[in-house]
Structure 1
Amino acid sequence: MIIDLHIHSNHSSDGEYAPEEILQYVKRKNIKYFAIADHNTVSGYCKLKNYNQGISTVMIPASEFSTFFGEHEVHVLAYGIHYEDQALISVFETINKNKLKQAHARVKALRNLGFKINFDDLMEHAVGNVPSGVTFLNTLLKNEDNKTLLSEYIEGEKSYSPYTSFYFDFFAKGGLAHVHVPLIDIGEFFDKMNGRAVFSMAHPILNPGNIMPDLFDFPFDAVEVFSSYHNSEEVRLFRSVADENKCFYTAGSDYHGPNVKPNIFMGVDCSLNPAIMEKLLEAIDRRNLYLYNL
């Protein structure tokens, strides 16, 4: 059985394809269960919630939340959410307000590094979305004066995956233009959302090892063991971590499109791990949460 519980559409601002295009790919790949888990929004999956075409595919409404544990950004995948949930709307409002503060601070940091960029141009390129690393790079590249500083992302060694490389080089912790603007505290997130979703720790390899034990003080139901970020050894490691913390497993590609994340393809073969969907569906049913048969 092929599933994919971590797909990004262009509603993430760093995804390339519209939800309708993703659905067609899901159909071609015969993906039985999938989730459009856009960053801090449900507008992507909402495009498909009334798309009843009898294609024998189940869409699990989801979002990937950017929470902060101290100075560390921790991504939480929430499954079975409802787009009209007032707690969910409150979380999005908090995150989006802080994302705009973060964007202002990032513009200032980039200007201090010698780049030519202004906030109004950035928002124009965001096309109604909160700016992402993709938006920043696209905005910078519109100005010829920036291209010398960004040559390695255009035609150099980082041109193979320019958007991901740019994000980690500039905006991730330790990056040249990193600013500490927590989007939402992980404790506040779980206080508001506990019981309103099934929660999985996204791509845990990106979380510093020293904070991992403390993260399980929060009500995670699952760990994204099967991820495009993980090699076979890391899969074994995070299976063990999940087992120790009485969590089940989830599986997702973290697909954004070939320009944003090259060589990451939609669909995870879970034929040898049928319990992945069994556990998730049981948890969704137990909490009276949501899914859509398409």
Structure 2
Amino acid sequence: MLNKGDFHVHSNASDGKYSPTEIIILSKINGLDVIAIADHNTTSGISEAIEAGKKYDVSVIPAVELSTRFNNESVHLLGYFKNNMYQDDTFKEILHLIKLHRYKKAKKILENFINIEIKEGALSVLEGINLLKSFGASVVLAHPMRISNNNINQILKLPFDGIEAKYSNTNLRTTFYFITLALTRFSFYTAGSDFHSVKSKNSKHSFIGTVYLNNSEIEIFLNKSGAMILK
């Protein structure tokens, strides 16, 4: 039985301080029995996390945090994978190009999988959603409470599977609002500390396991998303 899960954690495969193995150890210490390593535009830390998870009895859901833009605002998408497509070479190449801001080349490859809305510049939110779904992920809008009022309502009309309703340093009223919205408009919600470092100076992030889903919430998330658990 899975009782406590943090589904938005960063390792040093992107901009976190700690290795995937260290993340697993910190998760165990803080009572987590399931996590998602969701690094920025890379899945390279997942394999190490899975191996460490076997050793320390922490389950891992393969995930990624994808960078997109909407009306010149940065919008992040969380993809939770239902299968091993996160290991696909083409997918990894696309992520690598996005990480390097080589969007034109990335979109050239993407044209084989999805409709491209904008030929130039970063991926649009819809392109990002379609990319992740094309490679076997359920797609969640990351930290909607950080998106501007000018854009959030339009973004929430896009075909997400769920939203990250429980998030680092968010008050109960806002959390309840997004939980209600998720259950009304989408299939599920997730929770994420957005952990990067023990000594993070970013007030948007919190310590691993501070924000989490409980047993019943995890069950709903897994059933609705189809996310794969590796242990």
Q: TM-score range by the shorter chain?
A: 0.7 to 0.9
2:13 matches 1:11:
yes
Q: Is residue 193 from structure 1 mapped to residue 132 from structure 2 by the alignment? A: yes
User: How much does 1:244 deviate?
Assistant: 3.3
Shift in CA distance, 100/218, structure 1 to aligned 2, threshold 3 Å? closer
Per-residue CA deviation, residues 125-153 of structure 1 (Å, 9 max, x unaligned), is xxxxxxxxxxxxxxxxxxxxxxxxxxxxx
Counterpart AA for 1:282: N
Cα separation, 1, equivalents of 2:188 and 2:53:
30
Counterpart of 1:276 in structure 2 is 217
Q: Is the 8 A contact 1:40 1:92 kept in 2?
A: yes
* AA in 1 matched with 2:217: I
Is residue 91–residue 189 contact of structure 1 (8 Å, CA) maintained in 2?
no
- 1:59 match: 60
More strand by share: 2
Structure 1 partner of 2:207? 265
- 1:205 touches 1:229 (CA, 8 Å); kept in 2? no
Q: Residue 244 of structure 1: which of 179, 184, 205 is its match?
A: 184
Q: Distance in 2 between matches of 1:30 and 1:4?
A: 10
Between the aligned partners of 2:144 and 2:87, the Cα distance in structure 1 is 29
Q: What is the aligned length?
A: 208
Could you tell me whether the CA contact under 8 Å between 1:67 and 1:186 is conserved in 2? yes
How far apart are residue 92 of structure 1 and its match?
Answer: 0.5
Q: Which amino acid aligns with 1:58?
A: S
Go from structure 1 to structure 2 and tell me whether the alpha carbon gap of 1:235 and 1:187 turns closer, same or farther (over 3 Å shift): same
1:204 partnered with 2:125: no
Cα-Cα RMSD: 2.6
Superposed, which structure 2 residues align to 1:1-294 within 5 Å? 1-12=3-14, 14-51=15-52, 53=54, 55-80=56-81, 82=84, 83-86=86-89, 88-98=91-101, 182-194=121-133, 196-261=136-201, 264-267=206-209, 268-271=211-214, 274-285=215-226, 290-293=228-231
Q: Which of the two has higher C-alpha Rg? A: 1
* Secondary structure class of the residue paired with 2:163: strand
Query: In 1, are the aligned partners of 2:24 and 2:56 still within 8 Å (CA)?
Result: no
**Long gaps (5+) in structure 1:** 102-180
SS across alignment from 1:75: strand
Counterpart of 2:113? none
Single out whichever of 86-95 and 3-12 deviates more from structure 2.
86-95
Q: 1:2 to 1:262 in 2, by over 3 A?
A: farther
With normalisation by structure 2, the TM-score equals 0.79
Question: Structure 2: which 5+ residue stretches go unaligned?
Answer: 105-119
Q: Measure the CA separation in 1 of the matches of 2:6 and 2:186.
A: 22
Deviation of the 1:15 alpha carbon? 1.1
Q: Which whole-Å CA distance do the structure 1 matches of 2:38 and 2:100 have between them?
A: 20
Identity %: 31
Secondary structure of 1:3's aligned partner: strand
Residues 94, 183 of structure 1: 8 Å contact kept:
no
AA of the residue aligned to 1:23: I
- Structure 1 pair 262/191, CA: closer, same or farther in 2 (3 Å)? closer
Deviation at 1:86, TM superposition (A): 4.8
> How far apart in 2 are the matches of 1:3 and 1:261?
23
Deviations 1:42-86, CA, capped at 9 Å, x for gaps: 111122233463543210001111111231111111112633235
